[in-house]
Amino acid sequence: MILILKPNIRPSNDDYQQLMAYLHNLPNIHLRLHHEQGHELSLTEIHLIGTTNQLSVEEMRRLPAVQSVVRVSERYRVMGRHKEDNRPTSFRYNGVHFSQENLNVFAGLCAVDTPEYVELMMKSLRDNGQVCTRMGAYKPRTSPYAFQGHGKQCLPFVFELAGKYGIKVIAMEVTHESHVAEIHEALHRTGYPTGVMLQIGTRNTQNFELLKTVGRQQNYPILLKRGYGISLDESLHAAEYLASEGNQKIIFGLRGIKSNLGDPHRNLVDFAQVAVVKRLTRMPVCVDPSHAIGSRDKTPDGILDVMHATAQGVIAGANMVLADFHPFPSKALVDGPQALPLEVLPQFLEDVQLVHEACLRRRDLARRYDAETLKYEAAVAV
Ligand code: PEP
Ligand code: MN
């Protein structure tokens, strides 16, 4: 059970103290506190863990300082959707809104290579009205002999160039807690010209210690990729590892699952599950068509497979698209075969927009028919 307290309540407040005294006396229940400091409001949730089925939602709602109460089911306690659960499905970070209702595109380099290519990428994004990107400094690779990313040494120029071109959020993978500290330090030293969304890659979806440390910090939102060889349920529980440590600014990313049944694509596209993740949880959902498809192959209609996969995700309601681009794909140090050249960016963005509009129209259509169904049911009941 989760008690959501009145906004801006402080521990020194009488109501708060009375509430805590009462809760500490409940048998077989222990408490976990979540504080979130927003721009204007500070929000506190108290998670009651243990034998909560004897507690009445109505009684808990009447306790001092409590604004609302959510009875959670066992699955996905923090990020799940529960009955009468009005907790948000959105968050803001560095001026960018992330939600289960909207869509942000993160086109960018799979791996940072030279400052020149980073600048060409950033400039192209700015010229196409974009404020988000992806840039890998720490690359988990199959072979220990392959390029592992430039690491902390590239962070200052990446952040400065992002600031120069008005990029507000960079999705950047971290594979170790020291990477979070290095990003923090580099942002601080460069004067916070941009923001970072910490990405947990598919190979680390069940790296529980990494999840716990990344979940414990509240400076950066998190993009958690679905594990490529585990069930959706297991990956959604991985999101709980982040959230139960305190960070609820999580986006869940689908990127295809590892199976030869997806051949000739790099992975088997799983974007029909966008709808499932949105139904089960409050997380905005990202799709990564580049790592799902793995090539620049085209269909006879002239549309890239990557764009077809993107469209599948967006029509299903995806809220974020992560896509590999490169000024010179043949020179990319990582994942060149799937990187799209910058010349394709305007078409890619227009295609995404077109499908997103279709998605919104489908939502309106469904709402209209839902209203019709309610009218019909009411008429039948008379
Ligand atoms: C990536 O986005 O660069 C990446 C390595 O993705 P994934 O973890 O999905 O393979
Ligand atoms: Mn990659």
Q: What is the pLDDT of residue 373?
A: 78
Any idea which ligand is nearest the CA of 141?
A: 1
Instruction: Check if 110 has its Cβ closer than 6 Å to any atom of ligand 1.
Output: yes
The residue whose C-alpha atom lies closest to atom 5 belonging to ligand 1 is 201
pTM, 2 dp:
0.94
CA pair distance 32, 44, nearest whole angstrom: 11
What's the Cα-to-Cα distance from 45 to each of 32, 48, 78, 222, rounded to whole Å? 8, 10, 10, 20
Answer yes or no: are the C-beta atoms of 111 and 147 closer than 8 Å: yes
Pairing of strands 320-326, 104-108: parallel
Question: Which amino acid is residue 65, in one-letter code?
Answer: A
DSSP conformation class of 84: T
Which residue, judged by its Cα, is nearest atom 8 of ligand 1? 201
Q: How far is the CA of 6 from the centre of ligand 1 (A)?
A: 39
Q: What is the pLDDT of residue 143?
A: 96
pLDDT at residue number 380: 81
Does 2-72 match 92-364 in CATH topology?
no
> Does residue 202 line the site of ligand 1, with CB under 6 A?
yes
Ligand nearest to C-alpha 267: 1
Q: Whose CA is nearest to atom 3 of ligand 1?
A: 110
Strands 250-254 and 2-5: unpaired
Query: CA 35, CA 44: separation in Å to the nearest integer?
Result: 5
pLDDT at 38 (0 to 100): 77
113, 132, 199, 222: residue to mutate for ligand 1 pocket, most atoms within 8 A of CB: 199
Judge if the beta carbon of residue 225 lies within 6 A of ligand 1.
yes
Q: Quick check: CB of 47 below 6 Å from ligand 1?
A: no
Q: Please tell me the distance from the alpha carbon of residue 219 to that of residue 221, in angstroms, as a whole number.
A: 7
Q: What pLDDT score was predicted for residue 73?
A: 76
Q: Is the CB of 201 within 6 Å of ligand 1?
A: yes
Nearest-atom number in ligand 1 for the CA of 110 is 3
Of 113, 116, 107, the closest CA to residue 289 belongs to 107
Helix (H) or strand (E) holding 70: strand 66-70
What pLDDT, on the 0 to 100 scale, is given for residue 370? 87
Name the residue of 112, 206, 255 whose CB sits within 8 Å of the most ligand 1 atoms, as the mutation to test its pocket.
Answer: 255
Give the residue, by CA position, lying nearest to ligand 1 atom 4. Answer: 201
- For the CA atoms of the chain, what is the radius of gyration? 22
Residue found by looking up tokens 């051949």 in the block? 263
Ligand 1 pocket check for 224: Cβ under 6 Å: no
pLDDT of res. 379: 82
Q: What is d(CA 195, CA 320) in angstroms, rounded to the nearest whole number?
A: 16
Can you spell out the DSSP letters for 260-293? GGGTTSSSB--TTHHHHHHHHBS--EEE-HHHHH
Q: Distance, CA 173 to ligand 1 centroid (Å)? A: 8
Annotation: CATH topology of 2-72 = Alpha-Beta Plaits (3.30.70)
Cβ atoms of 215 and 192 closer than 8 Å: no
Could you list the pLDDT tens digit for every one of the 382 residues in the chain?
A: 999 999 999 999 999 999 999 999 999 999 999 988 777 888 899 999 999 988 999 999 999 999 999 998 778 999 999 988 889 999 999 999 999 999 999 999 999 999 999 999 999 999 999 999 999 999 999 999 999 999 999 999 999 999 999 999 999 999 999 999 999 999 999 999 999 999 999 999 999 999 999 999 999 999 999 999 999 999 999 999 999 999 999 999 999 999 999 999 999 999 999 999 999 999 999 999 999 999 999 999 999 999 999 999 999 999 999 999 999 999 999 999 999 999 999 999 999 999 999 999 999 999 999 887 777 778 887 7
Q: How far is CA 75 from CA 44, 71, 112, in A?
A: 21, 12, 38
Q: Token digits for 231?
A: 């069930």
Across-strand partners of 198? 172, 222
- Residue 21 burial (C-beta neighbours within 10 Å; 0-12, 13-18, 19+): exposed
Q: Which fold has domain 92-364?
A: TIM Barrel (3.20.20)
Mutating to test ligand 1, I would choose from 113, 148, 173 the residue with most ligand atoms within 8 A of its C-beta, which is: 173
The CA distance from 254 to 138, in Å, is: 20
What pLDDT score does 376 carry? Answer: 76
29-37/42-50 β-pairing: antiparallel
Q: Residue 35: its pLDDT value, please?
A: 87
Report how far ligand 2's centroid is from the alpha carbon of 128 (Å).
23
Identify the CA nearest to 150 among candidates 334, 341, 290, 324: 334
Domain layout of the chain by residue ranges: 2-72, 92-364
- Give pLDDT, residue 315: 98
**Strand bridging mode 96-99 / 90-93:** antiparallel
Query: Six-digit token pair at 119?
Result: 């600048």
The verdict on the CB of residue 136 being under 6 Å from ligand 1 is yes
